[in-house]
Structure 1
Amino acid sequence: MPPRLYLDLHILQSVPPSNLNRDDAGTPKHALFGGARRARVSSQAWKRATRKAWAQEQPKADHATRTKRIASLLADTLKESEDLSDTDAARLATALLAPLGITPSQKKEEETAYLLFFGHRQLQGIAQLVQGRGKELLQFDDADLAKELADLKVDEELMQSHPLEVALFGRMVANRAALNVDASVQVAHALSTHAVETEFDYYTAVDDENERGETGAGMIGTVEFNSSTLYRYATVNIPHLHSNLGGTSATQQATAEAVEGFTTAFVKSMPTGHQNSFAHRTLPHLVIAALRTDQPINLVSAFEKPLHTRTGAAEKSAELLAGEAQAIKETWGSAPERVFATYSPMSEGPTRALTEAFGTSTSFPQLTSGLRESTLTWLRDGTL
């Protein structure tokens, strides 16, 4: 089996007037690239949207959560499983988590100092370490209780049976490196293929209960927005994902399904900033899924020179992306092992360029099922 296999996802997606991801002043995030101001959506925003989209399709028991409230969640679990009072469950939960050395918040006792990312099944695993012994253990004073729990492998429960979200996006625990999980996915900041300008929507709200012919608005304000055609990119280290999910022959199918699930969630997800104001949900014009055994390659250089057009940016952006992929193949001798493509009908020139670079278009369900089968074949046989 080749030691490396990466999935590169390249997406072109047009978004109407919107404010998907704003900064601390409420302005849509942007970046300078190629000397031009571009619309930008941060990787964090799209990763969260992806996580939420994936979770909607999975049983709650398979979900992960990123929270400062692991102690209170564990206490709730212990209260139910061990039939404890709120106070006793909180005491036992605190004692169970103490060996992890996770620093409590200085502001709120019931919270940790930072967010911890873990799965619901992992929390259940910690609770099961004391299954049936809860009331017995609470008879000890704090010092003896700590000794009784010292040999329990609480950290091991957080390092096995990772939910897909943790296996994909990783986990960092600043003062407990043993709990770190290296991410198997990298997500780039989405950038517009062209320059953008921020615009302002001036809005008013009328008081429906105005009486005696009163005029004027009950509230006025502004919201900033832009519109753009975005290039989105993510890459998945498939062997590392397999390792995070257990790394055995028994987890090969789960890894292949994870690749399919991540691809679906990443492609179809959308950050929700000001969603009620703009109803900005769209689907991409183009999705390219490339399996590579050399290295991940972000094709954003196709748009280093900002696109200028008055007749729409999607088709020209697709043509530039295809040209960049061909140039990398010819200049560096670097080509994917397999490519799956889904793109909307386009004019003759862009369609020809896309076909030459990525092959003919298939439906998106065919793309994701092809990825799943190719991943499974590679994990089992070492071939694509």
Structure 2
Amino acid sequence: MNRTIIDLHILQTVPPSNLNRDDTGSPKTAMYGGVRRARVSSQAWKRAVRLAFGDLLDASQLGERTKRVGESLAARIAALDPDRDGATSSALAAEALVAAGLAKVEKKKGETKDAESSYLLFLSRRQLDNIAAYTVETTRAGGTLDKSTLKKLANTDHSVDIAMFGRMLADMADINVDAACQVAHAISVHAVDNEYDYFTAVDDRKHDAAETGAGMIGTVEFNSSTLYRYATINVDALFDTLGDAAATRAAVEAFVTAFARSVPTGKQNTFAHRTLPDAVLVRVRDTQPINFVGAFETPIGASDAAGRIRLAASALATHVRDVETAYGEQPVRSWVTHVGDNTAALADIAEAVPFQTLVTSVGEQVGAALGVPA
């Protein structure tokens, strides 16, 4: 099977916003090309994608990432064995998780608490279901829970989000999962300066005209930007983890949709910043991923003749052609969904199609590579 790499390149303009804050509440930034850029971390956008998966995939195809894994497993045990009360379900869940080496149990004032992982533990819902079923069946038969069996159940039937973004357990490396998807930090194609919104709030119970002044005052930091976003999927690695060609195609289609349409929710009630991309460019490759952020190493400047998005689209199209010509890196297939004339330059390097057609075309290409009938 030939290697199949899916590269996604997105240009997206967002209004005044604070999508992703640092520890002081300021919008995250980064230095690139000698100037400060707006930045949205890969973790923030991956979280947005995982949330969007909930609308695109069945819950059984997704995972749970939590320290409170004992609660989740106990609920499943109780559903399988209704004669158990909550305490005995929790105790049995704790026994299974401790036996597997996935969690610890703390006792306080003589009471056993639900088992918790010492870190956020990422397990698929099917893995939790399988562990619960094995635990109930084994204890009913009077058997002893086997660590190797429990670990195997925790390392099969991986969810789409685990396969995409990986799983790392520092103290149980043999059930780690390598991520099939990499997401870059989004950065603005131009320099930014953060700004401050000074706001006041009025106390609704101040009725006396003599009571002047605001009930609260404060500031919110923000910026606005045109972002370059990039992600890549190693389809072969994704297939190796999921073990099913049809599931792999569905996962790729879900990711393309979720990555393009999702937006981190930081301060969204304050700024209502949700936009859709100005352009989504997909390149299918059989060699290696290529991030084209170099198109914006020289920051884009606004002009009277053209706004930043038009100049950014032109710079990206030119850079793609230059890099691919220099290295002989021609894509297997390429599609672009672009909005209006401002991003029309990208139609010169890819087939212009509506977004849903782009998603379906990418899925068909993945299916063909994996031998799935169209």
Who is 2:260 aligned against? 267
Deviates more, 1:302-311 or 1:29-38: 302-311
| Cα root mean square deviation, aligned | 2.1
| Cα 1:223/1:178, change in 2 over 3 Å | same
Structure 2: any 5+ residue segments left out of the alignment? none
Could you tell me which of 360, 372, 377 is aligned with 2:368? 377
Could you tell me which of 287, 302, 306 is aligned with 1:309? 302
Could you tell me which of 326, 346, 366 is aligned with 1:354? 346
Shift of 1:131: 3.4
- Give the number of equivalent residue pairs: 365
Q: What is the rounded CA distance, in whole Å, between the counterparts of 2:370 and 2:74 in structure 1?
A: 40
Q: What is the rounded CA distance, in whole Å, between the counterparts of 1:55 and 1:107 in structure 2?
A: 35
Who is 2:276 aligned against? 283
Q: What is the rounded CA distance, in whole Å, between the counterparts of 2:95 and 2:372 in structure 1?
A: 47
Shift of 1:152: 6.2
Deviates more, 1:20-29 or 1:96-105: 96-105
Q: What is the rounded CA distance, in whole Å, between the counterparts of 2:203 and 2:372 in structure 1?
A: 68
Percent identity between the two aligned chains: 45
What CA deviation, in whole Å up to 9, does each residue of 1:1-56 have, x standing for no partner? 21x11000000000000000000000000000000000000000000000101112
Runs ≥4 in structure 1, deviation > 4 angstroms?
105-109, 132-137
Shift of 1:363: 0.1
Query: Retained in 1: the 8 A contact 2:14–2:273?
Result: yes
Q: Which amino acid aligns with 1:322?
A: A
Q: Which amino acid aligns with 2:248?
A: T
Who is 2:242 aligned against? 245
Who is 1:367 aligned against? 358
Query: Retained in 2: the 8 A contact 1:84–1:135?
Result: no
| Cα 1:103/1:257, change in 2 over 3 Å | closer
Shift of 1:63: 2.7
Q: What is the rounded CA distance, in whole Å, between the counterparts of 1:285 and 1:170 in structure 2?
A: 29
Who is 2:125 aligned against? 120
Structure 1: any 5+ residue segments left out of the alignment? 138-144
Deviates more, 1:186-195 or 1:330-339: 330-339
TM-score calculated relative to the size of structure 1: 0.90
Who is 2:207 aligned against? 211
TM-score calculated relative to the size of structure 2: 0.93
Query: Retained in 1: the 8 A contact 2:100–2:148?
Result: no
Who is 1:141 aligned against? none
Q: What is the rounded CA distance, in whole Å, between the counterparts of 1:277 and 1:190 in structure 2?
A: 21
State whether structure 2 residue 171 is matched by structure 1 residue 175: yes
Shift of 1:98: 1.7
Q: Which amino acid aligns with 1:220?
A: I
Shift of 1:358: 2.1
Shift of 1:134: 4.4
Shift of 1:215: 1.8
Q: Which amino acid aligns with 1:377?
A: A
Query: Retained in 2: the 8 A contact 1:31–1:40?
Result: yes
